[in-house]
């Protein structure tokens, strides 16, 4: 008799425990930044150094290779997602430009832009944390990936915890007033 009662209590506890939804864990974040819009800034500060690595200047360079040169990407692990700021990311991009073209651009001379769910372009502030932006503009970022600006409400659910969410940004000459896009 005692065994049945204890087993019944344990199964009630176990069954009620399974009703609790799982804790939302951040996932890896693949950040892809288009650097094409930084070329005018580089030309203004350092001459045509970026133009010398285009298909026009190097006929043997393919379009995909040129695209790879003008793209910065980084995979951010879950333990860094919560602390990464726009300012940190701009510093990483500045370092990438230094290592690629041997010219330094101050992180404060650039800004990052991102499209929200409606397709509006947003200039990101340096103090913004990426996780706050994701939670505000892409609340589904831990469960699925949107198809792009043409189909912002179509979400492809992730099939594995190892799949990163992709965040596509563009890097530009810094605006004097980030509230006013050109």
Inform me whether the pLDDT recorded for 156 exceeds 70. yes
Show the tokens assigned to 148. Answer: 């792009």
> Six-digit token pair at 64?
């995909």
CA-CA distance, 79 to 161, in Å (whole number)?
14
In the chain, the domains with their CATH numbers are 26-173 (3.10.20.90)
Rounded to two decimals, the pTM is 0.78
Confidence band, pLDDT 50/70/90 cuts, at residue 9: low
Q: Is the pLDDT of residue 155 over 90?
A: no
In which order are the strands placed within the sheet that holds 165-173? 71-76, 29-34, 165-173, 110-115, 121-123
| pLDDT(160) > 60 | yes
Question: What is the number of residues in the chain?
Answer: 182
pLDDT band at 144 (very low <50, low <70, confident <90, very high): confident
Residue (of 109, 75, 71, 76) closest to 90 by Cα position: 109
* Euclidean distance between CA atoms 109 and 128, whole angstroms: 17
Average pLDDT over residues 37-63: 80
- Helices 86-101, 39-46: axis angle to 10 degrees equals 60
Question: 3-state class of 20 per DSSP?
Answer: coil
Contact between residue 172 and residue 110 where contact means Cβ atoms under 8 Å apart:
yes
Contact 89, 72 (CB under 8 A): no
Angle at 62 between CA 61 and CA 63, to 5 degrees: 125
């Amino acid at each position: 008799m005692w065994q049945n009662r204890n087993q019944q209590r344990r199964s009630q506890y176990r069954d009620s425990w399974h009703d609790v939804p799982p804790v939302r864990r951040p996932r890896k974040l693949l950040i892809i930044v288009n650097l094409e819009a930084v070329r005018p800034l580089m030309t203004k500060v350092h001459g045509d150094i970026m133009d010398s690595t285009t298909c026009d200047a190097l006929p043997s360079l393919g379009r995909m290779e040129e695209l790879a040169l003008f793209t910065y990407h980084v995979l951010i692990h879950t333990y860094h997602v919560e602390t990464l700021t726009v300012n940190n990311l701009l510093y990483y991009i500045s370092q990438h430009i230094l290592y690629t073209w041997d010219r330094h651009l101050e992180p404060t001379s650039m800004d990052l832009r991102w499209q929200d769910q409606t397709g509006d372009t947003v200039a990101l502030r340096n103090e913004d944390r990426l996780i706050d932006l994701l939670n505000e503009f892409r609340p589904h970022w831990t469960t699925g990936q949107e198809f792009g600006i043409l189909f912002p409400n179509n979400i492809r659910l992730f099939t594995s915890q190892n799949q990163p969410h992709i965040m596509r940004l563009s890097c530009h000459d810094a605006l004097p007033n980030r509230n006013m896009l050109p």
